[in-house]
Structure 1
Amino acid sequence: MNNSRLFKKTLLAVTIATTTLASQQALAAGFQLNAQSATGIGRAFAGDAVIADNASVMARNPAAMALFDKTELSLGFESITTMIEVKDAEYCGPGCQMGMKPTSVDDIDDVGGTSIAPNIHLIVPVNDKFAWGVNAYSNFGTKTEFSDDYAATEYGGLTDVKSFNFGLAGSYRLNQQWSFGAGLDLIYGQGTMKREPSKSVGGVLGALGVPAGTPLLDVDKADGWAVGFNVGTVYELDENNRFGLSYRYSPEFEAEDDKGQKIVLPLPDIAEFSGYHKIQDTKFAVHYSVQYIGWGSFDKIEFQNLQGSVLSGSYDKQYEWQDGWHYAIGGTYYLNNDWTLRAGYMYDTSAQDSLTSISVPDSDRQWFSTGFTYHIDSASNIDFGFTYLMGDDVDVNEETEVRGIKASSVTATTKADAILVGLQYSRSF
């Protein structure tokens, strides 16, 4: 066995194994982050692969760059605040094997936090056929932290995972109806995960000869790079009606920390279909999106342990995630030359199926979104977006094994809500 390798499979799995949903369920199922634009937040990202009201559209569909005839710049940030509850928890240590009753754990509601996700997008038309663009934003990430005195510490701890996407893309207009685009994604990722045994589990480990204070897991700022790609197309019926289709390939991602511990993260592929329809002779438009996220490739996490680690041999934890879907619909009202108003609703399906986890309180969730654009002048504007994301209660039942022995278990009810706020400046040149 290679003792320099901690996880054989997935930072995703690491994230999932020991994190709470948090900062990026922004959020969406798994730990996908929807934070490419304040405009999108204001309409629950309904129609975002084809609306093209600013340069941020290139993050959802590179073909939509063909819809611009001037250089476009957008830059902004999203604030993501998660409210995560773990309630009605019961923890059972090694004594449960001898018939001891579980211990009630205090309810907690401060596992989440606030994260800031910046973004920048630039589209440059070359002529009436070609355009190119560059951008940078975060597509995945999560951060959660349980207190040090949490009774079930092996299910809590600290997890901080983030990725940054640096994109280069081009588009080609074939004719008045069809446009095509493609791009490369250079992805940088970083992850920290720390997990300590509870007092009762620590006692069992001590009896097995493990020194006191030895962590279950301790990965500190593992980082690395990977390359993906995206393609898309836009079909325009006329100036008021168009459709967009895009696909993003996300690679396996490998990260390594200073101690040589390696993590392999299989990010999910994403496909999206969007439509936009401005109602003739009115100031109103309706738009919608259906997005597929390929979380089904994540079935389990396999640990291979470091020299001196608590666990010996391999440790497999099953997750058996399922593919996720987003269904979004929204409306835009072009009030006058100064103000544009928007709203949207999204239904977002959970990546978890029959297996659930206290460390990732994933669930189906609903997005309620609103926002506006204020046009400073004919060439520049400011966007604001607000979303309240509401998750469902989920019953959790999971356990931990050490050296093939059931060491502890926990049952609980989890719930994760979030508030997203976005601010963005856009300009045409």
Structure 2
Amino acid sequence: MNKTRLFKKTLVAVTVSLASQQALAAGFQLNAQSATGIGRAFAGDAVIADNASVMARNPAAMALFDKTELSLGFESITSMIEVKDAKYCGTTCQVLPGISPPKDANVDDAGDTSIAPNIHLIVPVNDKFAWGINAYTNFGTKTEFSDSYSASEYGGLTDVKSFNFGLAGSYRLNEQWSFGAGLDLVYGQGTMKRVASNDVAQIGGMDLINVDEADGFALGFNIGTVFELDENNRFGLAYHYSPEFEAEDDKGQKIVLPLPDLLEFSGYHRIEDTKFAVHYSIQYIGWGSFDQIEFDNLSGSPLGSNYNKPYEWQDGWHYAIGGTYYLNNDWTLRAGYMYDTSAQDSLTSVSVPDSDRQWFSAGFTYHIDSASNIDFGFTYLMGDDVSVNEATANPNYDPTNPLAGPENLSTLSATTHADAILFGLQYSRSF
């Protein structure tokens, strides 16, 4: 792999260190397009089209509206990250374990809370064409460990944000088929800081990584289609190409945000002569391209100006199913369940905790009048325990020279566990 491509494995991947507020999906995907989606675990979200937020999942679904639609809201994401059974072993610990035993490196809660706003607008031009614009975030994480954390080269500060600004159009071919496409302008910003602990020989207390507010822009795109079997049954398919782009901080340190491509299939079926509908989604997330991290032009790091860290992630999947109950003209109730597969394969890491996850979701819509409504959604996300082992390699290691020191400057073994609570509030209106 060439150097340019390696750069494209950097910022977002790195910046999920030790506690993914990513917590919302495996890897560090942040599902924050709508409160409605949170209330049904995003089951059927590429085709339900109950408000303008559907354009974030499938641009073709804009063809299902005959009036101008506006949705705006926010989501709160609280991650609860635990690092337990953690043992940190510095340089002396590895050379003389009887004299310097491993230190505890447990953390009760490495999570945080963040707010993600969103806005979506769909404007039908006629019975064939519609256009729309939106803004939301799809990836992000923030974690900050204490300066006194014993395994500081594995903790530190991690803060990343990505914002998606979209412009899309749709075309209705006939009563069954609609198509759509859009462009995504993505802005990313991230900070990552790591300091070698005092237990690391010769470099204790030195900055390993100190990238501060690196940012950049990139362009992606999305395409989709909707097939309507009849007024109560429809299917949606959408593909999102996520860009890779270079980010740079004020010191000239370069990193690149790699974001995975997404492919989603959704179905919606309202049971005839009832108030109930069932909906589902299967989503593919292309995490397999995230094989390692590379930092370039690090300032004064003892690891060197170019530093690689392998991750070797695998592609991920979401499987979601949900139900909607149209109680009356004022209230719509919904619930959903999602199983979310881990992006990590055989190589696990404390610096990017991940696991298979389950979503338990519920929500409602209150119709203020025939043209406006308020949505609320809630999700409790449960992750699995994952055993991890990490090491910081000794750049001077020479197996033929005992004076060169041990193979690793330090090691860390632990079990990570990540849960999260999400809730969203949203206002929608037709014009």
Moved more, 140-149 or 275-284: 140-149
In the alignment, structure 1 residue 37 sits paired with structure 2 residue 29: no
Tell me, yes or no, if structure 1 residue 318 matches structure 2 residue 310.
yes
2:348 aligned with 1:352, yes or no? no
Separation in structure 2 between the aligned mates of residue 259 and residue 347 of structure 1, nearest angstrom: 42
**For residue 373 of structure 2, what is the aligned residue in structure 1?**
381
Q: Contact 1:130/1:172 (CA < 8 Å) preserved in 2?
A: yes
8 Å contact kept, 1:374–1:381: yes
Q: Distance in 2 between matches of 1:194 and 1:383?
A: 38
Partner of 1:220: 212
Give the partner amino acid of 1:377.
D
8 Å CA contact 2:262–2:284 kept in 1: the answer is: yes
Tell me how large the CA RMSD over aligned residues is: 1.5
Residue deviations 1:206-245 (CA, integer Å, cap 9, x gap): 6xxxxxx531110110001000000000000000000000
| Preserved CA contact (<8 Å) 1:313 1:403 | no
* CA distance in structure 2 between the partners assigned to 1:72 and 1:78 by the alignment: 20
Q: Does 1:11 align with 2:3?
A: no
Residues 356-414 of structure 1: CA deviation (Å, up to 9, x unaligned):
11122200000000000000000000000000000000001110124244100000011
Q: Match of 1:364?
A: 356
Output the amino acid matched with 1:90: K
**What pairs with 1:34-113 in structure 2 (closer than 5 Å)?**
34-100=31-97, 102-113=101-112
Residue aligned with 1:204, SS = coil
Specify the alignment match of 2:3 in structure 1: none
User: Corresponding residue for 1:209?
Assistant: none
Query: 1:393–1:413: 8 Å Cα contact kept in structure 2?
Result: yes
1:274-353 superposed matches below 5 A: 274-312=266-304, 314-353=306-345
Does structure 2 retain, via aligned residues, the 8 Å contact 1:276–1:288? yes
Q: Is the CA contact 2:209–2:298 (under 8 Å) kept in the aligned structure 1?
A: no
Q: Distance in 2 between matches of 1:276 and 1:8?
A: 37
- 1:245 corresponds, among 222, 237, 246, to 237
**Alpha-carbon deviation of 1:104?**
3.6
Distance 1:37 1:98 in 2: 53
> Hey, what's the Cα distance between the residues in 2 that align with 1:379 and 1:187?
32
- Where does structure 2 lack aligned partners over 5 or more consecutive residues? 1-5, 398-407
1:419 aligns with 2:417: no
**In structure 1, the residue corresponding to 2:368 is in which secondary structure?**
strand
**Structure 1 residue 24 corresponds to structure 2 residue 26:** no
> 1:7·1:261 contact (CA, 8 Å) conserved in 2?
no
> Hey, what's the Cα distance between the residues in 2 that align with 1:348 and 1:52?
23
Partner of 2:123: 124
Query: Quick one: structure 1 residues 301 and 400, their matched pair in 2 at CA, closer, same or farther if it must change by over 3 Å?
Result: same
TM-aligned CA deviation for residue 95 of structure 1:
1.9
Q: Aligned-pair distance for 1:86?
A: 0.4
- CA distance change for structure 1 residues 178 and 7 in 2, over 3 Å: closer, same or farther? closer
Superposed displacement of residue 310, structure 1: 1.9
In structure 1, distance between residues paired with 2:46 and 2:298: 44
AA aligned opposite 1:14: V
Contact 1:55 / 1:74 at 8 angstroms: preserved in 2?
A: yes
Q: 2: distance between equivalents of 1:32 and 1:263?
A: 19
Secondary structure class of the residue paired with 1:200: coil
Equivalent residues in 2 for 1:116-265 (5 A)?
A: 116-201=115-200, 203-205=201-203, 213-265=205-257
Q: Alpha-carbon deviations, 1:273-310, whole Å to 9, x = none?
A: 00000000000000000000000001112333434222
**Greater Cα shift, 311-320 or 175-184:** 311-320
The whole-number CA distance in structure 2 between the counterparts of 1:386 and 1:331 is 14
**Structure 1 contact 370–387 (Cα < 8 Å) conserved:** yes
- Secondary structure at 1:143 match in 2: strand
Q: Is the 8 A contact 2:253 2:296 kept in 1?
A: no
The superposition leaves residues 55-114 of structure 1 with CA deviations (integer Å, 9 ceiling, x where unpaired) of: 000000000000000000000000000000000101111124424164241532221010
- Count of paired positions: 414
Deviations 1:302-328 (A, max 9, x none): 333434222226432211000000000
Q: 1:78 to 1:307 in 2, by over 3 A?
A: closer
CA distance in 2, matches of 1:347, 1:21: 20
Q: AA paired with 2:14?
A: V
Say if 1:49 and 1:57, in contact at 8 Å, map to a contact too: yes
1:3 equivalent in structure 2: none
- Give the partner amino acid of 2:45: D
State how far apart, in whole Å, the 1-side matches of 2:310 and 2:105 are. 27
Cα distance 1:387–1:238, how it changes in 2: closer, same or farther (>3 A)? same
Aligned mates of 1:298, 1:106 — CA distance in 2: 27
Which residue identity does 2:365 align to in structure 1? T
Relative to the length of structure 2, the TM-score reads 0.93
**Percent of aligned pairs sharing the same letter:** 81
Which ranges of structure 1 fall in alignment gaps of 5 or more residues? 1-5, 207-212
More displaced stretch, 301-310 vs 184-193: 301-310
Give the drift of 1:14. 1.8
Aligned equivalents of 1:233, 1:356: Cα separation in 2: 37
Paired amino acid for 1:124: V
Q: Which amino acid letter does the alignment assign opposite residue 46 of structure 1? A: A
Secondary structure of residue in 1 paired with 2:334: strand
